[in-house]
Amino acid sequence: MQRVGFMLKVKPEHVAEYKRHHENVWPEMQAALSRAGWHNYSLFIRPDGLVFGYVEVVETFEQAIANMGREPINEKWQEFMAPFFEGVPGTHADQMMETLEPYFYLA
């Protein structure tokens, strides 16, 4: 199991709506994440739109991203959420995740 922290940036003017959409993530998307090996997945957000994500994946994070890329619902979700994010136009959030270096863990 690999623990991964990552960051993304939501446009500040879209933070409230972005959070509302995550109150009811599509069941098909949740099932796809589970099938793709995503566990203990959490998102945290600052008022300015900085998102910190934490996930535990069965394989590597790169493999977990690739697994999701094979899930048809992922493309629909990524397209739906794309307008909320800062970054390169035409690039989905799952391709803009900036991973963080883990350096301490207390069990």
| Torsion-angle region of 82 (φ positive above 0: left; ψ -120 to 50: alpha; else: beta) | alpha
Q: Which residues on adjacent β-strands are paired with residue 99?
A: 6
Catalytic residue numbers read 22
Query: In CATH, what number is assigned to the domain containing residue 57?
Result: 3.30.70.100
Is 105 part of a structural domain of the chain?
no
Q: What is the pLDDT of residues 3-57, one digit of tens each?
A: 999 999 999 999 999 999 999 999 999 999 999 999 999 999 999 999 999 999 9
Residue 69 lies in domain: 2-100
Q: How many domains does the chain have?
A: 1
Is 107 part of a structural domain of the chain?
no
Q: What is the pLDDT of residues 48-62, one digit of tens each?
A: 999 999 999 998 999
